[in-house]
Homo-oligomer: A and B are copies of this chain.
Amino acid sequence: MNEASGKLDSSPQPPVLGRPRSATAHQAMVDAAHDIVTKDGPLALTVQAICQAAGTSRASFYRRWSNAWQCFTESVDSFLLPPSMNDPTADTIDILVAATMNFYRYLSLRATKVRLGMILLDASAQPDMLVEAKKDTEARRAKLLKRIGDDVADGRIVVTIHHGVVVNIISGLALHAALMARPLPEKDVRAVLSRLIFPIDATA
Q: Enumerate chain A interface residues (CB-CB to B < 8 A).
A: 113-114, 116-121, 134, 137, 160-162, 165, 168-169, 171-177, 179-180, 182, 188, 191-192, 195-196
Partner of A117, one of B121, B173, B175, B191: B121
Residue among A119, A168, A177 facing the most chain B CB atoms (10 A cut-off): A168
Partner of A113, one of B120, B171, B172, B180: B120
Smallest CB–CB gap between A134 and chain B, Å?
A: 8
Q: How far is the CA of A177 from the CA of B191 in the complex (A)?
A: 22
Contacts A118-B121, A120-B120, A172-B176 given; 12 further ones with Cβ under 8 A?
A: A117-B117, A117-B119, A117-B121, A137-B180, A165-B188, A165-B191, A168-B177, A169-B192, A172-B172, A172-B173, A175-B176, A195-B196
Smallest CB–CB gap between A90 and chain B, Å?
A: 24
Smallest CB–CB gap between A163 and chain B, Å?
A: 12
Task: Summarize A's interface: helix, strand, loop or mixed.
Answer: helix
Smallest CB–CB gap between A119 and chain B, Å?
A: 8
Copies of this chain in the oligomer:
2
Chain B residues lying within 8 Å of A165, measured Cβ to Cβ, are 188, 191-192
Chain B residues lying within 8 Å of A177, measured Cβ to Cβ, are 168, 172
**Complex A-B, nearest 7 residue pairs according to Cβ-Cβ distance, in ascending order:** A172-B172, A117-B120, A172-B176, A117-B121, A117-B117, A172-B173, A113-B120
Chain B residues lying within 8 Å of A162, measured Cβ to Cβ, are 188, 191
A134 to chain B: closest residue by CB = B180
Partner of A116, one of B120, B173, B182, B195: B120
Chain B residues lying within 8 Å of A169, measured Cβ to Cβ, are 169, 172-173, 192
A173 to chain B: closest residue by CB = B172
Chain B residues lying within 8 Å of A161, measured Cβ to Cβ, are 191-192, 195
Chain B residues lying within 8 Å of A121, measured Cβ to Cβ, are 113-114, 117-118, 121
